[in-house]
Amino acid sequence: MASAFKKQLSSVLQEGFVIKRSVFQSCLELYPMQEWNLMMAKINKLNRFVKKNNDFIRRFTAGVKVVDVDASGRILVPKDLCQFAGIEKQVVLSSAVNIIEIWDKDKYEKVIDDAVVDFADLAEEVMGNTEADELS
């Protein structure tokens, strides 16, 4: 990691990260501790006496691990999480706005290739009406 980049991220690196299984894909999600705390604040507002909330919390937090960055700027991904994501050899780190997805390279490329055909429609559906939304 370049020293300038490390310096910019120093507070994030010191706080550590949470790594977990993705909800929607067979990849992992890496949360900076600050983002994880925001997510847990939302989850803590759920009523645990509602069964579906309890089931969600259990599934969402399954396999959660706190990880730190070592002196060389590396994160050790636990073996059980590598198995969940099918990470074999090469990995791809993909920005997902406030978190980082960690993918097996081949799986990532397949998901991206499979989504290419539908991406134009998806982009229009998700982002196409932003002006109309702002006028409302």
Domain ranges of the chain: 3-105
Residue 74 in this model has a pLDDT that exceeds 70: yes
Three-class SS state of 8: helix
Q: Which residues contact residue 22 at a Cβ distance below 8 angstroms, ignoring those fewer than 6 apart?
A: 28, 29, 85, 101
Q: Which residues contact residue 111 at a Cβ distance below 8 angstroms, ignoring those fewer than 6 apart?
A: 25, 103
Distance, CA of 8 to CA of 56 (rounded, Å)? 35
Residue 92 in this model has a pLDDT that exceeds 90: yes
The strands making up 91-96's β-sheet, listed across from edge to edge, are 65-67, 17-21, 28-32, 99-104, 91-96
Assigned CATH for 3-105: 3.40.1550.20
pLDDT digits (tens, 9 = 90+) for 38-71: 999 999 999 999 999 999 999 999 889 999 888 8
Residue 136 in this model has a pLDDT that exceeds 70: no
